[in-house]
Amino acid sequence: MKKPRVDIETTHRSVTRRALVIGGVQALFVGGLAARMRFLQVEQADQFRLLAEENRINVRLIPPARGEIFDRNGVPLARNTPSYRIVLVPEDTGDIDVVLERLAQLIELDDETMERAKAEIKRSAPFLPVSITEKITWEDVSKVSVNAPALPGVTPEVGLSRVYPLGSDFAHVLGYVGPVSDYDLGKLENPDPLLRIPRFQIGKVGVEAKSEDDLRGKAGAKRVEVNAAGRVMRELDRREGAAGVDMQITVDSQLQNYVQARLGEESASAVVMDVTTGDLLAIASSPTYDPNLFVSGISSKDYRALTDNKFRPLASKSVQGTYPPGSTFKMIVALAGLEAGVITPDETVYCPGHLEIAGRRFHCWKRAGHGEIDLKDSLKQSCDVYYYDLAVKVGIERISAMAKRFGLGVRHDVPMSAVARGNMPDKEWKRRVRDAEWRIGDTVNASIGQGYLLASPLQLAVMSARLATGRAVSPRLIKSINSAELPSGSGGEIGIDPQHMQWVQDAMFSVVNDRRGTAYGSRIIDDSVRMAGKTGTSQVRNITEEERRAGVTRNEDLPWERRDHALFVNYAPFDDPKVAVAVVVEHGGGGSKAAAPIARDVTLQALYGGEPPLETYPVKDRDRIEKQQSDLRGIRPVANIGGSDQA
């Protein structure tokens, strides 16, 4: 049967439409294929020709520039400088030993450098570049470049190296950077790929370590084309990373330099703090060391010299060191007694040179005793018996609580390594840590800053600042990040009766400015900058009754490590406090003799912003001070690795 004409036309239109769609798809496919073939054969011909000759593309990380560090006045403390280095990619090298031997014939490579390089090559992925040597000269770079055909996989590069322009002055504050170790990687769950680059440097201690994430920055990347011999043919593209942030710390480099020089060869530490903002203006430990030695890897000889020194130059004593605070703790006990209402400033205690408590005799430092003594004189003359008696009345719980209000027994938030908490014990602490009950003798020992009490120089400086202002001042070390100012540590009111604070402050003033005060020899003559302070001497050995009867051995006649620690805390000016200072001289003997003179000199240097006029010193001291200023002028201390028996 013949189809109607309408059906035939409909079928024809449908077939024609399908044919057009299919034809269009085929044409589009053929056109796309032709365009792709043209792109590959014409536009990418050179690249594929090189790849056909066994070239390949490598993606390499670009280490970012590390953030730099400056002092409060913009003086550079940690900078980056261009440095030439030689790197080797193991998988491009072939026989590594042969290549290293050829390299050693061109440039100077000692045995230690060679062994370290071989160890890193074994430890690293074969495609990662390993730094063989750094800080080489342009002449060495030229030698390696000229002999490139004989050194497959070896390439000279320009990188950035960390430099500490002021050397040892800031070693204990900034710390140093060094190559990433297996230990460093083991501490991280998901380490930054940058850290896998052999010899990549990170902060090891101090601000460099504590602010590592901010200072490091973010990596960039580049694609490079290398030939079969491992030589870089060209750079295809590059994506720059983000540099680390720049930091400004609160320390004044000139004051820091002076404090380091003034501490000299002593095993000692000093902290200078702005009592208004909490800024740490100087924070020094002695002896010190040169952090530049660690940047590329310190030699075994230099490192042994530092670790074998009994004065511990690697330790940041200002924040890590903890010591019995001795008589510098008496202000805390006095305030605890005043706040508890168990004493008044006029009440007296009789000091015969000792006090019998629970069948045991506790001695005063003055064998003959002080006689009748009140609050002011007890601090001025540092009578121990007064505080034995007071502590029994107040109790350790109130004393410990007061100490913590003034920053003792508290780990302060300062970005330095191993910041110590110290120890301000109470009954619960002894049960928990010593598995023993607290005894009344423990309270008596605590009253003069002995026994279980421990405090760092940083904590003692915070205590002094809070005594000066009546505010909960907190230490601040980082002033700004990328020019953005960080909050100050001014704090709020500490909550002590102002009258009680005034009584203790007046007593501290008499310690330094009254003829019978223990620090009278270190007073300041200029009325506008007179200081208030307190001496301290903490025992490191037990004195037996037999030795007391025979006569206590003088510190000068004891081995250095058995001598007492010397301490002094102060603030100035008395009428308008600006700075607080704490000085600890390890095994220095008496605080009035060893620590107070250093603290006085440091205080004046901080207040005057440089050398104070000789008129601020007592007349009898001026010739000596003038010579001292001349000797210290312009000194920049260097690493003391020899040690000394003189404290």
User: Does any domain span residue 165?
Assistant: yes
**In a shared domain, residues 111 and 166:** yes
Q: What pLDDT, in 10s, does the model give residues 380-395?
A: 999 999 999 999 999 9
CA 337 to chain CA centroid, nearest Å: 37
Which sign does the torsion angle of CA 180, 184, 186, 187 carry?
negative
263 and 338 share a domain? yes
Active site residue 131: no
Q: What confidence tens digit (pLDDT) does each residue in 176-232 have?
A: 998 888 788 888 878 888 887 767 889 999 999 999 999 999 988 877 776 665 556
Among 291-305, 363-377, 470-484, 493-507, whose mean pLDDT is lowest? 291-305
Query: Do the beta carbons of residue 103 and residue 144 sit within 8 Å?
Result: yes
Same domain, 614 and 537: yes
The pLDDT, as a whole number, for residue 14 is 63
What is the mean predicted confidence (pLDDT) over 147-159?
84
Q: What is the mean pLDDT of residues 139-156?
A: 86
Confidence at 570, pLDDT banded by 50, 70, 90 = very high
Statement to judge: residues 199 and 311 lie in one domain: no
Residues 84/136, Cβ–Cβ less than 8 Å: yes
How many CB atoms are located within 10 Å of the residue 390 CB? 24
Predicted structure pTM score: 0.83
Q: Does residue 26 fall inside a structural domain?
A: no
Among residues 224, 249, 274, the one where a domain terminates is: 249
Please say which residue of 249, 276, 311 terminates a domain.
Answer: 249
- Which amino acid would we find at residue 165? P
pLDDT (0 to 100) of residue 512: 98
Asked if residue 603 belongs to a domain, the reply is yes
Task: Give the integer Cα–Cα distance in Å for 424 and 449.
Answer: 10
- The conformation of residue 537, written as its DSSP 8-state character, comes to E
Answer whether residue 531 is part of any domain. yes
Side-by-side strand order, sheet with 56-62: 56-62, 220-226, 232-239
The greatest distance separating any two alpha carbons of the chain, rounded to the nearest whole angstrom, comes to 145
Residue 397 lies in a domain: yes
- pLDDT tens for 503-558 read 999 999 999 999 999 999 999 999 999 999 999 999 877 776 666 666 677 777 78
In the prediction, which pLDDT does 296 show? 76
Cα separation, 487 vs 480, in Å, equals 9
Q: What is the pLDDT of residue 414?
A: 96
Same-domain status, 349 and 286 = yes
Phi, psi of 38 (to 5 degrees): -65, -40
Scored b (16 or more CB within 10 A) or e, 262-300 reads bbbebbbbbbbbbbbbbbbbbbbbbbbbbbbbbbbbbee
Check whether residue 517 and residue 531 sit in a common domain: yes
Question: How many angstroms separate the Cα of 128 from the Cα of each of 75, 216, 358, 425, 457?
Answer: 37, 20, 71, 53, 46
CATH number at residue 524: 3.40.710.10
Helix (H/G/I), strand (E/B), else coil: 249:
strand
In this structure, the answer to whether residues 197 and 303 fall within a common structural domain is no
For the chain, the domain total comes to 2
End residue of a domain, out of 249, 282, 305: 249
Residues 319 and 441 in one domain: yes
How many Å apart are CA 563 and CA 551, to the nearest integer? 16
Q: Which of 327, 378, 447, 522 is catalytic?
A: 327
Contact 588, 552 (CB under 8 A): no
Q: Is 513 helix (H, G, I), strand (E, B) or coil?
A: helix
pLDDT at 638: 41
| Locus of tokens 């100050």 | 488
Q: Residue 520 sits in which domain range?
A: 253-632
Distance between CA atoms of 363 and 571, rounded to whole angstroms?
29
Quick check: 219 and 142 in contact, CB under 8 A?
A: no
Give the SS3 label for residue 205: strand
Q: Do the domain assignments include residue 18?
A: no
Residue 270 falls inside a structural domain: yes
Q: Does residue 9 belong to any structural domain of this protein?
A: no
| Pair 216, 286 in one domain | no
**Domain co-membership, 219 together with 261:** no
Q: What pLDDT is attached to residue 553? A: 74
Residues 213 and 318 reside in one and the same domain: no
Question: Do residues 233 and 259 share a domain?
Answer: no
Contact present, 109 and 133 (Cβ < 8 Å): yes
Q: What is the CATH number of the domain that holds 209?
A: 3.90.1310.10
